[in-house]
């Protein structure tokens, strides 16, 4: 038994003339939490859908997809039998209450009767939804729906959990609760593949990530490592509506500093905070602050700060 849960290489998927996934390759270890990062329209959801057979890749001899030994093109049902899927849009059964949603889903895996009852009780407890057992779906908040969708994905004790933007649109409490649960699952040996555009989420729970844009992989590795390898340690944000003053005559005096502007803010990067403070002192600035650079800076550096047409 090898150590890989997911092995994907040279994966392509186009919708019409748009390449949603472009020569994507990545591997996920067993019991690892792996993150796909990228702006909206980067191809994260499409890549995940291909893994469980909801989307079909472009046919190619070069493409290999191996999900715990199975190929979604030939064995989608087996892959889904050992996986749990949390899709981006809530697609709970709005005609049924909370318990019935889980009961019906349990049946799709052949879990019935007392075994289903025990499992549902356990999952409602795990996702802290016990007091909502008989509530109709439309009376649940967004956070509760999301927790129930995760509970639903856990009904078969999956080996692989696939979550497409699990915490988008949720408040910080629910987000932290979900992160805790995912860490808990990982410690029990579940492989977690998630997509997100929250950098903090990736930093908090992912062992390794890849950053994607326009269907391509741009960078990959452990989040800390990526930061160290690709970005200066500190960044100074200068907010000035008239950025024009910071022209080349200024930057010429500070050859060691990398800078970029986005809308009304200029970002200056350096490994040396002293240098940043000296720059700030030399300029007639009213509003700036120096902080540690983070994954968000890296994300914006590699995907570009402007918006693309899909966002």
Partner 1 sequence: MNYSKQYRPLSYWGRINAVWYRHARVYNSDFLSNAFPPFLEPLIFLAGLGIGFGAYIQTMGTVNYLLFLASGIVVTSSMYTASFECTYGTFIRLEFDLIYDGMLGAPLSPSDLILGEVLFAASKGWLFALAVLIVTWLLGIITTPWSFLASFIGFICGLMFATLSLWITSVVKNINHFNFYFTGLLSPMFFFSGAVFPLENLPAAMRYVAEVIPLTHVVRMARAFCIPGGIGWYLLSDLGYCLIFILVTGVMALRGLKKRMID
Closer to partner 1 by CB, 188 or 307: give it: 188
3-state secondary structure of 302: helix
3-state secondary structure of 93: coil
Query: What's the closest the beta carbon of residue 175 comes to partner 1, in angstroms?
Result: 22
Q: Which stretch binds partner 1 (CB under 8 A): 102-110, 186-194, 261-269, 288-296?
A: 102-110
Site for partner 1 in 246-265 (CB under 8 A): none
Given 11, 85, 235, 279, the residue binding partner 1 (CB under 8 A)? 85
Closer to partner 1 by CB, 38 or 53: give it: 53
Given 109, 126, 179, 203, the residue binding partner 1 (CB under 8 A)? 109
Helix then strand then coil, % of the chain, to nearest 5: 35, 25, 35
| CB-count burial class (<10 Å; 0-12, 13-18, 19+) for 168 | middle
Query: What's the closest the beta carbon of residue 104 comes to partner 1, in angstroms?
Result: 5
Ordered DSSP codes for 42-84:
SSHHHHHHHHTTSS-PPP-SS-EEEETTB-TTT-HHHHHHSEE
Contact flag: residue 69 with partner 1 (CB under 8 A): yes
Site for partner 1 in 15-34 (CB under 8 A): 15
Query: What's the closest the beta carbon of residue 196 comes to partner 1, in angstroms?
Result: 19
Query: What is the H or E stretch that residue 300 is in?
Result: helix 295-303
> Is the CA virtual torsion 191, 97, 140, 47 positive or negative?
positive
Given 60, 73, 108, 142, the residue binding partner 1 (CB under 8 A)? 108
Query: What's the closest the beta carbon of residue 170 comes to partner 1, in angstroms?
Result: 19
Query: What is the H or E stretch that residue 125 is in?
Result: helix 113-126
The Cα 236–Cα 270 span in angstroms is 8
Closer to partner 1 by CB, 81 or 277: give it: 81
* Residue ranges in contact with partner 1 by CB under 8 A: 1, 15, 46, 49, 52-56, 68-70, 76-78, 80-82, 84-85, 87, 89, 91-96, 100, 103-105, 107-110, 152-153, 156-157, 159
């Amino acid at each position: 038994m090898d150590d890989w849960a997911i092995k994907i290489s040279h994966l392509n998927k186009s919708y019409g003339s748009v390449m949603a996934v472009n020569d994507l390759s990545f591997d996920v270890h067993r019991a690892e939490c792996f993150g796909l990062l990228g702006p909206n329209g980067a191809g994260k959801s499409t890549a995940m859908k291909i893994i469980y057979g909801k989307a079909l890749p472009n046919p190619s001899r070069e493409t290999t997809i191996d999900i715990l030994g199975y190929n979604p093109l030939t064995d989608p049902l087996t892959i889904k039998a050992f996986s749990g899927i949390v899709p981006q849009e809530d697609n709970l059964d709005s005609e049924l209450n909370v318990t019935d949603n889980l009961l019906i889903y349990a049946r799709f895996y052949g879990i019935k009767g007392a075994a289903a009852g025990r499992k549902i009780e356990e999952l409602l407890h795990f996702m802290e939804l016990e007091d909502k057992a008989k509530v109709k779906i439309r009376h649940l908040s967004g956070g509760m729906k999301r927790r129930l969708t995760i509970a639903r994905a856990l009904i078969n004790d999956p080996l692989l959990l696939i979550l497409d933007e699990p915490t988008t649109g949720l408040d910080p409490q629910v987000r932290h609760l979900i992160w805790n649960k995912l860490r808990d699952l990982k410690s029990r040996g579940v492989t977690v593949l998630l997509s997100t555009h929250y950098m903090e989420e990736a930093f908090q729970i992912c062992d390794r990530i890849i950053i994607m844009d326009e269907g391509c992989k741009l960078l990959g590795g452990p989040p800390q490592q990526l930061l160290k390898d690709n970005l200066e340690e500190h960044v100074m944000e200068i907010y000035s509506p008239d950025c024009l003053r910071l022209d080349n005559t200024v930057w010429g005096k500070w050859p060691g500093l990398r800078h970029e502007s986005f809308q009304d803010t200029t970002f200056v990067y350096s490994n040396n905070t002293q240098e940043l403070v000296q720059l700030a002192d030399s300029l007639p600035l009213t509003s700036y602050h120096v902080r540690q650079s983070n994954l968000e800076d890296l994300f914006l550096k590699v995907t570009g700060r402007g918006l693309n047409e899909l966002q």
